[in-house]
Structure 1
């Protein structure tokens, strides 16, 4: 596993410029400001320790209040700070969902969740906590966390309730009170800006009735449950998504009441080339609770009656997970959408009033689709409700290849699949594993091992003269051939027996049975074995895709061991690519073909030196990095994984690696029964000598891009096998989008190279400019867009350039 450890130095060797554009992630202040924030964080930690010691010794009289939906004990200096803040009138940062609008337009902060000073209303925080998960029709609420909130009727203040004016120094109250006994990281989050998760400057209303508002937005947003519907659109000329410019963000504001019925020119819009997949979100926000919600889609009808069958479109729905512990300062404790189960006709949804329920419309454009504008209709229906949602799809006149050029290598655990799906027989295992491989293929991702049930079989002959290995490739060849032809994987990780291996935590020595590395029997058998590997893969044409990944994240103490292993591989099978999850280091002399550092440790200067020696670069993310880098976490903006692929292109990196895609449980955190990944989105440490029962967080969603079907969320719950495909996620779809973006850039570069001699110097400059990643998408490793619209805009420009060049 490519696992990040705190021993790794998270230094960014690139420019540390400040982002000027709105929607860019990163630190928007000077180094002095950053230093001040660190000082504040450490000061708060010291204060928390002082408070805890004093409280334990009974030194401080206490007062209990409900703040931000939780009971909080105020003692000593925090009690005094609370009193001071009540009378404060200084400027402050806005709180998230704890603010309420008053009739006169003023804003108030309510310090007990679920109560306001306005009769008949509840604040959004209480509404969010009371509702729970979206239900299947006719069923009880899905198992999920419930927050303890005040249950008094609106207009009645509970005991200890205090109301602050919005202009009070609220951030200081939060800093001192909200999590005084939590870790330094959690405390440090309190001085950060409000999360981008709550922005409301995107989306378009399609129609509104007295039962529901239906609106749409790009797939690159994570829509909060309680987010209000967008402002109704004004009449305008419809734009093709191929030529749309990203709209300018507008200040957050409470939208006016929308007029009933369909909005002018409103349609959910997508754009894609042939053999591409594209998604859009249609959001249902009931005014009154909707029971048994379902949806179906028509064929897509295009130029001259051309059709894309409805079967090429999937209708998924966003499943909300409650994040108890935010991953880092970017995340917030709230319901976050991630899993995307299919919306099945036999399992409709119940959607409570006042909550968003995004539907994901995911279309695959066939290779032979005629270019042009297509239209389809999504019919949404529930008991006593029905609405028709228009959809528009622009198909560009070029085709993505089946196999992408950016190399991908992501882990997949068959053991966990078999456990959660309750699979016993080989036929069951193969059938369901193929469903997972199908998902990998559709998302242009290659698993580490394309043949986990059909390994290369080796018979060791130490008594032969000379000692040798007999290698049987027959089952392996059949499985790999299918994986490459059917799913179009582009990498193959080799398990090299007898090689030894390990991680920075522990390692095991090379050996074949009783024969250690120094014995002549080992040397003869190992050399015979790996030479056959190389020769066979070369004969099959698979050698350029194969790589050996035998040691993970070495420490300096491991450098000699790693160097010896890499030298052994190079000596006996120089054509097998040797990959190492580490950045180049002058003290590490190993002959590495593929360097794969964790993303913050990529150093452009080091990389150029290694490239002159013939090496290439991949990179990876896992439980680290965390903010302010692009990450893989549930409680981060959806754009991050997609932007990561633009950063990959920008730095001439040729591959990406992630340690796991189905890390659903931790044996340490859940020693007695497996974790339900729908109920608990946190990924916990396992292995590394972690004691049983210890819940040490890696981050929400780390190593978890696909989910087991809902019927298999708890292993052993069903009597028989669950023969269903995996459930996708927003992050799985965003990773696919990023890989497709990379392929658009590769196609443009190839087209430009093909026609360069037929273009004027000015035309060449214009096309070359499109191969550069604009700062609106990413300025450097820590400043990038959290708004997907600049990505869609640039992608459309690249698509139009490819269309133009392809017609020359």
Structure 2
């Protein structure tokens, strides 16, 4: 009897190993990887999985920088509780980067449904699209045949020792064995600054969107907690907290952030004309706005030390309104030391510089040819103006709608800004969650297939997906999108060019050949970005250019000590980045 029982136990153990053991992981699922600049479609449509099955995964980054890739698990059967665990990173000299600096989260999917399309739109975009990063989920179930990416975000602290580090990622599942894959991280010996060099004004809707999606009352403790968490979350992604169409809510906390973290620009308030039926109604509103600024808003800003960051946003996309010109003059008269910002096309209408001389910051929709941009910028800056740019709904490229290639987001924030050298970047909304049709009425709570409705922008002939949304509401606060990750990566790419320019100016002993290489790199390789119609969609080309710039930084930094970060508000063009043809 004992022999029979022992035989049965051995057989059961054998079956368990076959069904769940390490050897069976080889047949239960495959593991590959993809860069952070390409979308991985869970159903294998749109070209199937195009990443690599070869390891190790290798990435390179500076200190105080984030860089990511996607670890991809392809289910050969239904898998439950799939998660990825990171080890510490170690070099061959005993130095380590803690696993706490590696965040691994499943990528979630939003569905574009046929009923979301206008009649003229192609059905090709119907289906599941990767976007939210489900940071509140440690594990995810994977259906047989699904291609599930995990976002692997690596951060290198300022105090890390430069060099090559190696580590492992372990994939585990409840009903299968585990697999280990190798990762290699090259750390360059320079730091990126905490405070971004590129200034942004990107609208955060607080009360209607954050309060609405979490169903919390304005002013409640939970509301305050969510707002403050969101401010810090955005700053982690190099976006300053700001409200374009109204006023920022927790201005006292923003004052604290300006002291403890950083701040670039912040809107005092917004005035427009389109909301009023008669000129007399508008004039009454304008005078009320001026009175509110003088007697309420500005005193608070002064008390908190925020006036050096302040601007007034006005006449969004309607500066040519019949009542706007006189209103700009009135605002300039009352507030001569506060910059006025509006949207308008100086390239096609250079006369605006004379007609609306009170406007200090002009924001252009998209960017023109480089030659036209240079002439526009030079004249505006000669008059002491700033020239920014923005993107919004439209079939134009580059853009960061769901349908656009993911690398475009990184180029917008990085190489394109380095090529054109605008003074800032504006975006109409970061969290268009509730005020859409059909609306979303609750945070994302599960995945990878979410119930989020991605419709957020529209025109007469088409709807746009992902427009106005760069992050999502998770179970207990904001969670990033893969597009937001690429935005930060681009902002960090931009810092490479800023740092290279500063070093080229500061290094008095560098040879002519090295300085020439730096000057050429500062113009941004046309293989990466030639203009707004011609740019790479190949991540490897961007990686190669980034490595070239990094190596030039290392060469030029020998024997050079740059001054510490300074408060440069109002923002000045980064030293060393030049607008060149």
Instruction: Provide the TM-score with structure 1 as the length reference.
Output: 0.58
1:489 equivalent in alignment to 2:282: no
Q: In the TM superposition, what is the alpha-carbon distance from 1:279 to its structure 2 partner?
A: 0.7
Residue 241 of structure 2 is aligned to residue 447 of structure 1? yes
Matched, 1:214 2:31: yes
* Distance of 1:290 and 1:304 partners within structure 2: 39
CA contact 1:582–1:595 (8 Å) conserved in 2:
yes
Aligned to 2:426: 657
Map residues 173-184 of structure 1 onto 2, 5 A cutoff: none
1:566 is displaced (CA, Å) by: 2.0
Q: Are 2:87 and 1:298 equivalent residues in the alignment?
A: yes
Q: Return the structure number with greater helix share.
A: 2
Q: Determine helix, strand or coil for the equivalent of 1:318.
A: strand
Q: 1:662 to 1:517 in 2, by over 3 A?
A: closer
Contact 1:420-1:708 within 8 A present in 2 as well: yes
Q: Deviation digits for residues 160-195 of structure 1, max 9, x if unmatched? A: xxxxxxxxxxxxxxxxxxxxxxxxxxxxxxxxxxxx
- Asked if 2 retains the 8 angstrom alpha-carbon contact of 1:666 and 1:674, the reply is no
Q: Alpha carbons of 1:761 and 1:586: their partners in 2 closer, same or farther (altered >3 Å)?
A: closer
3-state DSSP of counterpart to 1:446:
coil
Identify if the C-alpha distance between structure 1 residues 763 and 576 changes in structure 2 by more than 3 Å, giving closer, same or farther: same
Q: How does 1:514-553 map to 2 (within 5 A)?
A: 525=291, 529=295, 533=298, 542-553=306-317
State whether residues 665 and 675 of structure 1, in contact with CA within 8 Å, keep that contact through their aligned partners in structure 2. no
Q: Distance in 1 between matches of 2:161 and 2:245?
A: 37
- Judged with a 3 Å threshold, the aligned counterparts in structure 2 of structure 1 residues 608 and 671 are, in CA distance, closer, same or farther, namely same
List aligned pairs for 1:335-734, cutoff 5 A. 335-342=128-135, 344-345=137-138, 348-382=139-173, 383-415=175-207, 416-424=209-217, 426-449=220-243, 476=251, 478-495=252-269, 500-503=271-274, 525=291, 529=295, 533=298, 542-554=306-318, 556=320, 558=321, 560-584=322-346, 585-586=349-350, 588=352, 589-590=355-356, 591-600=358-367, 603-604=372-373, 605-624=375-394, 626-627=395-396, 629-645=397-413, 646-666=415-435, 669-670=437-438, 678-684=451-457, 698-709=463-474, 711=475, 724-734=476-486
Q: Who wins on radius of gyration, i.e. which is larger? A: 1
2:490 to 730, 738, 746: 738
Normalising by structure 2, report the TM-score.
Answer: 0.80
CA–CA separation in structure 2 for the residues paired with 1:570 and 1:807: 47
Alpha-carbon offset, residue 380 of structure 1: 0.9
Within-5 A mapping of 1:190-209: 209=26
Tell me, in whole angstroms, the C-alpha distance in 2 between the residues paired with 1:805 and 1:330: 52
Deviation of 1:423 after TM superposition, in Å, equals 2.2
Equivalent position SS for 1:740: helix
Partner residue in 1 for 2:539? 788
Inter-partner Cα distance in structure 2 for 1:352 and 1:621: 37
Q: Distance in 2 between matches of 1:707 and 1:367?
A: 29
CA gap of 1:230–1:738, structure 2 versus 1, over 3 A, is closer
Q: Deviations over 1:61-96 (max 9, x none)?
A: xxxxxxxxxxxxxxxxxxxxxxxxxxxxxxxxxxxx
SS in 1 for 2:477: coil
Deviation at 1:782, TM superposition (A): 1.2
1:71-220 alignment, distance < 5 Å: 209-220=26-37
Task: Give the structure 1 partner of residue 56 of structure 2.
Answer: 267
Q: Distance in 1 between matches of 2:303 and 2:61?
A: 37
Q: Distance in 2 between matches of 1:384 and 1:361?
A: 22
Cα displacement (A) at 1:359: 0.5
1-structure distance, mates of 2:239, 2:513: 37
Question: Could you tell me whether the CA contact under 8 Å between 2:68 and 2:151 is conserved in 1?
Answer: yes
| SS of residue matched to 1:224 | coil
What SS does the corresponding residue of 1:738 show, helix, strand or coil? helix
CA separation of 1:319 and 1:523: change in aligned 2, threshold 3 A: closer
Cα distance in structure 2, aligned partners of 1:330 and 1:375: 44
Inter-partner Cα distance in structure 1 for 2:124 and 2:278? 38
Q: Assess, with a 3 A threshold, how the Cα gap between structure 1 residues 790 and 454 changes in structure 2: closer, same or farther.
A: closer
Any idea what the Cα deviations from partners look like across 1:457-479, whole Å, max 9, x if unmatched?
xxxxxxxxxxxxxxxxxx84x32
SS of the aligned residue for 2:93 comes to: helix
C-alpha change, 1:706 and 1:510, in structure 2 (3 Å) is farther
